[in-house]
Amino acid sequence: MQKLSVIIVNFNTKDLLHKCLDNLKDIYSDLELIVVDNGSTDGSAQMVKQNFPQVILVENTNSGLAAGSNKGLEKATGDYLLYLGTDAFPTKDAIQGALEYMNKHLTIGVATCKLVTRDGKPDMDAHRGFPTPWAALTHFSGLNKVFPRTKLFNQYFLGYKNMTEPHEIDLCISHFMFIRKEVFASVGKWDEDFFVYGEDVDFCYRVKQAGWKIIYLPQFTVLHYKGATVGIRKETKDIKNAASTSPETQKRMRAETTKAMKLFYEKHYTKKYPFLLRKLVYAGIDMLSKIRAAR
């Protein structure tokens, strides 16, 4: 049996983390649980020590999600690595199914499952295309909502794909990202220039560039308390951690969303698209940043 390392990066989500770790009990027989605590002040690390002594706990400074992910990578000894958010709750079937699927398809480097929010709706952030200028324009202008099933207007969420069958996608989010360990030898570690947001987009881009496939497995579901870890979504305001997130933290999280967009574009698209288009993209990002800051 192959070993699975589950890596969870935590920052001040003690109650969610407890629920997450409790859900992972007996979920897979050869399981290595790693929690990287990024300098939490809510007693998260102590809670892990007291309630989950089998967990490998890495106490880290708050140097960002990507940096925490790399700390977990350093400790992982599994054949597969599962990066999991404290707000994500997979089933045994999802864990076993993803592992078995990847065992049968050796060109797949990364897999994800159908993430669903508490109201049962699919979390389409787990089913993404790369944010090219056209894909971003049709998404933020709302054209993808008008034409959700077309390849021309919904490249952002890949709405033209058959959502009932396994299929290849461009990227998924690190709330449930199942990775073959050999992938890291091909692409390296997580880019720590991304503090939070965008680190998964960048990682998946490099995975695809290295020739690996990324697969979406809709036959397996994972419950996702979307937004609960950062407190900037109304859907999860009733959850204790989200409700207690400070206004300062929420403001920073909104700023980080657009900062990550610009960083990704500068890293991967600067030489791919002409100068004038780059200026237009940056102007759009700056406008979006001001809109989100004003909320």
What does the pLDDT read at residue 231? 58
Residue 128 β-bridge partners: 171
Residue 192, helix vs strand vs coil: coil
> 109 near 207, Cβ under 8 Å?
yes
Domain range annotation of the chain: 4-127+163-236, 246-295
Asked whether the predicted pLDDT for residue 244 surpasses 70, the reply is no
Torsion sign (Cα): 4, 115, 60, 71: positive
Q: What is the pLDDT of residue 204?
A: 98
Here the tokens at position 272 are 């791919």
The pLDDT value recorded for residue 227 is: 84
Mean pLDDT over 20-27 rounds to 97
pTM of the model as a whole? 0.93
Q: Position of tokens 């390849």?
A: 151
In angstroms, the CA 60 to CA 165 distance is 40
**pLDDT band, very low/low/confident/very high, at 107 (cuts 50, 70, 90):** very high
Assigned architecture for domain 4-127+163-236? Alpha-Beta Complex (3.90)
CA 155 to chain centre: 19
DSSP-derived letter for residue 266 is: I
Which tokens hold the place of 146? 């008008």
The Cα–Cα gap between 99 and 111 comes to 9
Query: What is the pLDDT averaged over residues 121-135?
Result: 97
**Mean pLDDT, to the nearest integer, of 10-34?**
96
Contacts of 150 (CB under 8 A, 6+ apart): 159, 160
Query: By 3-state DSSP, what share of the chain in percent is helix, strand and coil, each rounded to 5?
Result: 40, 20, 40
Per-residue pLDDT tens digits for 35-92? 999 999 999 999 999 999 999 999 999 999 999 999 999 999 999 999 999 999 999 9
Mean pLDDT computed over every residue of the chain: 93
**84 pairs with which residues across the strands?**
176
Q: 49 by DSSP, 3-state: which?
A: helix
pLDDT reading at 248 higher than 60 = yes
Q: Which long-range contacts (CB under 8 A, 24 or more apart) does 204-208 make?
A: 204/110, 204/170, 204/171, 204/172, 205/130, 205/170, 205/171, 205/264, 205/268, 207/109, 207/110, 207/183, 208/170
Any residues with CB less than 8 A from the CB of 173 and at least 6 apart, and which?
112, 115, 123, 125, 126, 128, 200
Strands (DSSP E) found in the chain: 4-10, 31-38, 56-60, 80-84, 88-90, 108-116, 167-168, 176-180, 213-224
Between 221 and 247, the more confident residue is 221
Measured distance CA(233)–CA(250) in Å, rounded: 10
